[in-house]
Amino acid sequence: MNATAILLIDCPDRRGLVAAVADFLYRHNANILHADQHQDNEQGLFLMRVEWDLAGFDLSLEEFRRQFARIADQFQMRWRLELSALRPKVAIFVSQYDHCIVDLLYRQQSGELACDIPLIISNHNTAERIAEFYQIPFHLIPITKENKAESEAQQQELLRDKAVDLIVLARYMQILSPHFVDQYPQRIINVHHSFLPAFMGAKPYHRAFERGVKLIGATSHYVTSELDEGPIIEQDVMRVSHRDQLDDLIQKGRDLEKVVLSRAVRWHIDHRILVYNKKTVIFD
């Protein structure tokens, strides 16, 4: 695949936005490969993602940033430029349930997830053999109420050492401190084994079973300091019935967890997500 550039924009909605961006890229010989946009009428916002082939593009990235800043200022844009050739470094946190991490590692090895995974961090040793199989360094950091601050400091040191861009909580059953979360805004993705905002917190399958639900779900979201309140990236559901016991719900739910987490990670890596007002836009 050719190297591409990706421009993500959000700004007040007004006429001429698409034309201004397209004309700027055209004047510099950009071959646009994908373009998608969204208007939030209630908020009066315009959001856009455009990707183009860098072959033949006549601006350096530094010059692009300088020249495009004039258009951005004119339209009050918040914007960022990403490159497909830069593979993000992803750290995976996991506890005892290994279905999500196995799925992610397989997808990364098969090329579906265009990232590097320099380390796995866990508070249990369950996933150590999986890490050895994929030849990824595994770090066991037990956590108790008494040593939580020290454990998080150790984790952060490892993340800084590997220059990690994204943290994926693959059924990591620990609540990160606000201080930890603040170091990685919109760069921590969690999977919650429920269709949020229903059954937040611990043991959602048990609570769903007690309520006799007819649908179960799973949710991937960015982590914020408010538990299970971060911007939702992806959700999926599956029908269940009175014939399904608690173990059936858990088994079916794990299939959903794998799917919604891998989608969220892929969309983040592909720079398809914009966050605004506690919501996300997922571009095609």
Which percentage of the chain shows pLDDT scores above 70?
96
Contact between 93 and 167 under an 8 Å Cβ cutoff? The reply is yes
Backbone angles phi, psi at 7, to 5 degrees: -110, 125
The predicted structure's pLDDT at residue 161:
98
Q: Which residues make Cβ contacts (< 8 Å) with residue 226, sequence separation at least 6? A: none
The predicted structure's pLDDT at residue 204:
73
The predicted structure's pLDDT at residue 241:
77
The predicted structure's pLDDT at residue 2:
78
The predicted structure's pLDDT at residue 195:
63
Q: Which range is least confidently modeled, 10-14, 85-89, 212-216?
A: 212-216
Q: What is the mean pLDDT of the chain?
A: 92
CB half-sphere exposure, 233, CA atoms < 13 A? 27
The predicted structure's pLDDT at residue 194:
72
* pLDDT tens by residue, 219-263: 999 999 887 789 999 999 988 878 888 888 888 888 999 999 999
Name the band, by pLDDT with cuts 50, 70 and 90, for residue 93: very high
Q: Over range 134-160, report the average pLDDT.
A: 95
Q: Over range 94-104, report the average pLDDT.
A: 96
Q: 3-class secondary structure for the chain?
A: CCCEEEEEEEEECCCCHHHHHHHHHHHCCCEEEEEEEEEECCCCEEEEEEEEECCCCCCCHHHHHHHHHHHHHHHCCEEEEEECCCCCEEEEEECCCCHHHHHHHHHHHCCCCCCEEEEEEECCCCCHHHHHHCCCCEEECCCCCCCHHHHHHHHHHHHHHCCCCEEEECCCCCCCCHHHHHCCCCCEEEEECCCCCCCCCCCHHHHHHHHCCCEEEEEEEECCCCCCCCCEEEEEEEECCCCCCHHHHHHHHHHHHHHHHHHHHHHHHCCCEEEECCEEEECC
Q: Over range 99-123, report the average pLDDT.
A: 97
Name the band, by pLDDT with cuts 50, 70 and 90, for residue 196: low
| Active-site annotation, residues | 228
281 pLDDT higher than 70 = yes
Q: Which range is least confidently modeled, 10-24, 31-45, 54-68, 230-244?
A: 230-244
β-strand pairing of 188-192 with 166-169: parallel
Q: Over range 186-196, report the average pLDDT.
A: 85
The predicted structure's pLDDT at residue 130:
97
pTM, entire model: 0.91
Q: Over range 65-91, report the average pLDDT.
A: 96
Give just the sign of the alpha carbon dihedral 165, 169, 172, 178: positive
Rank 140-149, 206-215, 240-249 by mean pLDDT and report only the highest.
Answer: 140-149
42 pLDDT higher than 70 = yes
The predicted structure's pLDDT at residue 145:
86
> Exposure of 40 by Cβ count < 10 A (0-12 exposed, 13-18 middle, 19+ buried)?
middle
Name the band, by pLDDT with cuts 50, 70 and 90, for residue 200: low
Structural domains of the chain sorted by starting position, each given as residue range(s) with its CATH number in brackets: 4-83 (3.30.70.260), 89-282 (3.40.50.170)
The predicted structure's pLDDT at residue 210:
79
Q: Which residues make Cβ contacts (< 8 Å) with residue 263, sequence separation at least 6? A: 220, 233, 234
Provide the angle, in degrees to the nearest 10, between the axes of the packed helices 17-27 and 61-75. Answer: 160
